[in-house]
Amino acid sequence: MYDPTVARLTYRALLGRRRALILGALPLLLVAISVVVRALAGADDQTASDLLGGLALATMVPIIGVIAGTGAIGPEIDDGSVVYLLSKPLKRPTIIFTKLIVAIAVTMVFSALPTLVAGFILNGNGQQIAVAYTVAALVSSIAYAALFLLLGTVSRHAVVFGLVYALVWEALFGSLVPGARTLSVQQWSLAVAHKVAGGDLVTSDVGLTTATVLLVAVTVLATWYAGQKLRTLTLAGEE
Pick from 21, 28, 36, 216: which binds other proteins (CB under 8 A)?
Answer: 36
Cα separations in angstroms, 71 against 22, 86, 195: 13, 17, 32
Contact 114, 89 (CB under 8 A): no
132: Cβ–Cβ under 8 A, 6 or more apart, which residues?
A: 193, 194, 196, 197, 202
111: Cβ–Cβ under 8 A, 6 or more apart, which residues?
A: 27, 56, 60, 61, 64, 65, 137, 141
Instruction: Report in angstroms how near the CB of residue 80 gets to other proteins at its nearest.
Output: 12
Name the DSSP letter for residue 182: G
145 binds other proteins (CB under 8 A): no
From the number of C-beta atoms within 10 Å of its C-beta (0-12, 13-18, 19+), residue 163 rates as middle
C-alpha count within 13 angstroms, C-beta hemisphere, residue 221:
6
Pick from 6, 37, 132, 192: which binds other proteins (CB under 8 A)?
Answer: 37
Instruction: Report in angstroms how near the CB of residue 112 gets to other proteins at its nearest.
Output: 17
CB atoms within 10 A of CB 74: 25
22 binds other proteins (CB under 8 A): yes
Q: Considering only residues 76-115, where is the footprint of other proteins by CB under 8 A? A: 78
Pick from 6, 61, 71, 145: which binds other proteins (CB under 8 A)?
Answer: 71
Instruction: Report in angstroms how near the CB of residue 19 gets to other proteins at its nearest.
Output: 7
In angstroms, rounded to a whole number, what is the distance separating the alpha carbons of residues 160 and 170?
14
119 binds other proteins (CB under 8 A): no
51 binds other proteins (CB under 8 A): yes
Instruction: Report in angstroms how near the CB of residue 190 gets to other proteins at its nearest.
Output: 17
158 binds other proteins (CB under 8 A): yes
Name the DSSP letter for residue 44: -
Q: From 123, 20, 143, select the one nearest 131 (Cα to Cα).
A: 123
Give me the amino acid identity at 182.
T
C-beta of 160 vs 217, nearer to other proteins:
160
75 binds other proteins (CB under 8 A): yes
C-alpha count within 13 angstroms, C-beta hemisphere, residue 195:
15
Pick from 16, 54, 178, 207: which binds other proteins (CB under 8 A)?
Answer: 54
Instruction: Report in angstroms how near the CB of residue 145 gets to other proteins at its nearest.
Output: 14
Instruction: Report in angstroms how near the CB of residue 14 gets to other proteins at its nearest.
Output: 10
The residues that touch other proteins, with contacts defined as CB under 8 A, are 19, 22, 26, 29, 33, 36-37, 40-41, 47, 50-51, 54-55, 58-60, 63, 66-67, 70-71, 74-75, 78, 156-160, 163-164, 167-168, 171-172, 238-239
